[in-house]
Amino acid sequence: MRIAVSGGPYANPYALQAFVDDARARGCERLFCLGDLGGFGADVNALWPILADNDVECVAGNYDVAIARGDTDCGCGYRDAKDNEYAQLVYDHTLATTRRDFAAWMGTLATERRETIDGVDVHMVHGSTLALNDFWWESLPEEQHRLRAEASGADVVLCTHSGLPWQRQVADTLVVNVGVLGKPANDGRREVWYAILDLDGGRPTAELVPLSYDWRAQAASMRAAGLPEIFTETIETGWWTTCLEILPPRERSRGRFHLYRSTLPSGFRPADDGWGEGASAGAVEGDRPVVPLFGTAYFPSRLWVYTNFHCNLACDYCAVASSPKAAPRTLPATDFHALVDEAVDAGFTELYVTGGEPFLHPDIVGLLDHATTRLPTVVMTNAMLLRGRRAAGLTALAGRKLTVQTSLDGATPAAHDAHRGAGSWLRTLDGIRHLVDLGLPPRIALTETPDNTHEIPAVAELLAGLGLPAGHFAVRPLLRRGLSETGAEIGEDSSIPELTVTADGLHWHPAGADLATSPDLYLAPAGTSLAAGKELVTERFFTARLNDGSLPRPVHCAV
């Protein structure tokens, strides 16, 4: 036998009728609905004749139980205040508009159904086998899947409630989350989902079916009923704009929106690091109450690219273990060009080129030439190799959106050279003067240590004497990464992400971009797309956040 099983219609009669028609056309002999008839949509009463006229067999969801009893809330199981605020808006509408005879009928429905169909033990629930409003997410740990499957022991368990379709074999049980009919699956598609089960021969198989329906009519009915536009937008775009906090990190990372705007504190802006506010300061355009993580102060839209890892210096506190003896891991020019173009398409607004020493890359000027035609670009250098063939053509880039940043760790050679090598202070000052002459006045960063803290005012005065504006000087912390055995700790649970690309792949932060010394900040191998990298960062961000409820702080290497 072939059966069709749907999840919450959520007052979407257009999708419910499309489910009936599509399932019958595919040869399904019995049709089931796993509950949550109301919610999200405008006209729950329009569902009843469709269910009755087409013999759709129903179990009750938490929404149906609540409506039948006249509860004050839906009992959806949300834990976040903002999630509950949006859920309450729709529940109040549904409770006020549902016909009482329909509500009474909902009260007659069982909250689960179990029967043997063609020799297969099939268990139908709304949330899970543990609770009516339990969210059975695909990303749950394996032991949690086993717990729910073993609580049933059926050959097949069918569930819904979470709104996201998936299927997997858990020991001897086929588990299928059938999705919902009431709204899209947060995948950018307007289609909704249901499941078809083939039970012939006692060997069940399932197919998750995307379903087209008249979403324009559903959106129009919601507007006519005066429901908030934020709900209608989900119907029209396929992206969830409400009830985000309930989503686990993996599921949340796949959506377009990740945070309520109200969770972005106004004080969390990188304005106190000496560089001032820029494109990464966390400004979010528009008035939608939800925002993507990417492009906020929690995940700036700047991309870091390591052109190479070998360096003419051997600084003893280099966070990525660069030195003249380091494996070069040079990024080919063709790969760099493709990466810059991909970054533009992926929504990055700034590019940071670093190393090693980027001016040891044989085609560094060509790389910067291409980069600055696409994005504002910052190149990090020790400023010692900016003459001769390595700097040929650099003058022509002076009119582009190119910024050069270098390091000066003291007002006198002693503090600087102690970590960066004898004679490096004088050569750096020479490079700074040369950049000023080229029309590329650099920004200067000082890595603060116990030895040079007292020299910071003098460094600022020295740079002012070279004609650099005050805004071109900043102090950054010493980090315990790479070659440095002391300094501030930095990890994905304690710092905002800044997606970084090297020849080895993708990394969480530029200060942890050396695979050998910072394997914990490694995200994915070379060839992984930036879009996939953004998703990985988002998942890891929320995983770290859920561990202790805190939000990370910025650790700046540049603007």
pLDDT digits (tens, 9 = 90+) for 35-62: 999 999 999 999 999 999 999 999 999 9
CB-based contact 445:407 (threshold 8 Å) = yes
Nearest-angstrom CA–CA distance, 496 and 292: 14
- Give the side-chain half-sphere CA count within 13 A for 97: 21
Give the count of beta carbons closer than 10 Å to the beta carbon of residue 121. Answer: 17
Confidence of residue 551 (pLDDT cuts 50, 70, 90): low
- Can you spell out the DSSP letters for 232-265? HHHHHHS---S--TTS-HHHHHTSS--EEGGGS-
Nearest-angstrom CA–CA distance, 107 and 110: 8
What are the angstrom distances between the C-alpha of 420 and each of 38, 198, 317, 428, 460?
67, 69, 9, 11, 19
Residue 204, pLDDT above cutoff 80: yes
Strand 156-159, strand 120-125: pairing: parallel
Give residue 394's pLDDT: 86
Residue 559, pLDDT above cutoff 50: no
* Coil vs helix vs strand at 505: strand
Q: Which helix (H) or strand (E) holds 385?
A: none
H and E: helices and strands count for the chain: 15, 21
Confidence of residue 263 (pLDDT cuts 50, 70, 90): confident
Strand partners, 30: 3
Residue 151, pLDDT above cutoff 70: yes
Provide the residue type at 283 as one letter: A
Give residue 547's pLDDT: 63
Its pTM stands at 0.90
Q: What percent of the chain has pLDDT over 70?
A: 93
Give φ, ψ of 260 to 5 degrees: -75, 140
* Coil vs helix vs strand at 116: strand
